[in-house]
Amino acid sequence: MLQTALILAFVLASLVAMFAIQNAGAVTLRFAFWSAETSLVVVILVAAAAGAAMASLAGLPGWMRDRRRLRAQSRELDILRNKQSSQPSPPPESSSRLSG
């Protein structure tokens, strides 16, 4: 699963880079009273990086919740294992009761 996601991310990054390189003209960015002239390559790559960062931040709460749940379940499993090892094992049943 992780390998597939990594390959997909690499393919997507390659496509974005090819798109950016093929559209290398100069553009003027305007926002309110601010304006700047830059290459379209820079705009595309910054926008793609910002989108990736926003997607990562959107997934962060779920990742943290899963890590917390995993930690709690791991502690619970350790407690149960310790309880099981500290309890004496039941005596084996005699074969005479089974054949009877």
Residue 48's nearest CA partner among 20, 80, 88, 7 is 20
- Assigned domain for 38 exists: yes
- Host domain of residue 33: 12-60
Q: Does residue 30 have a pLDDT over 80?
A: yes
Of 6, 8, 42, which Cα lies nearest the Cα of 27? 42
13: pLDDT strictly greater than 70: yes
Nearest Cα to Cα of residue 56 among 3, 9, 90: 9
Q: At what angle do helices 40-86 and 2-22 cross, to 10 degrees?
A: 170
pLDDT at 40 over 60: yes
- pLDDT of residue 1 exceeding 70: yes
Total structural domains in the chain?
Answer: 1
Confirm whether 29 is domain-assigned: yes
Half-sphere exposure of 56 (CA within 13 A, CB side): 7
Domain-located, residue 100:
no
Q: Is residue 95 part of a domain?
A: no
User: Is the pTM higher than 0.75?
Assistant: no
Residue 28 lies in a domain: yes
Q: What is the pLDDT of residues 15-28, one digit of tens each?
A: 988 888 888 888 99
Q: Is 7 part of any domain?
A: no
Two tokens, residue 94: 């005699």
Higher pLDDT, 96 or 4: 4
Q: Is residue 88 part of a domain?
A: no
Is residue 2 in some structural domain?
no
Q: Work out the pLDDT band at 79, boundaries 50, 70, 90.
A: very high
Give me the pLDDT at residue 98, please.
57
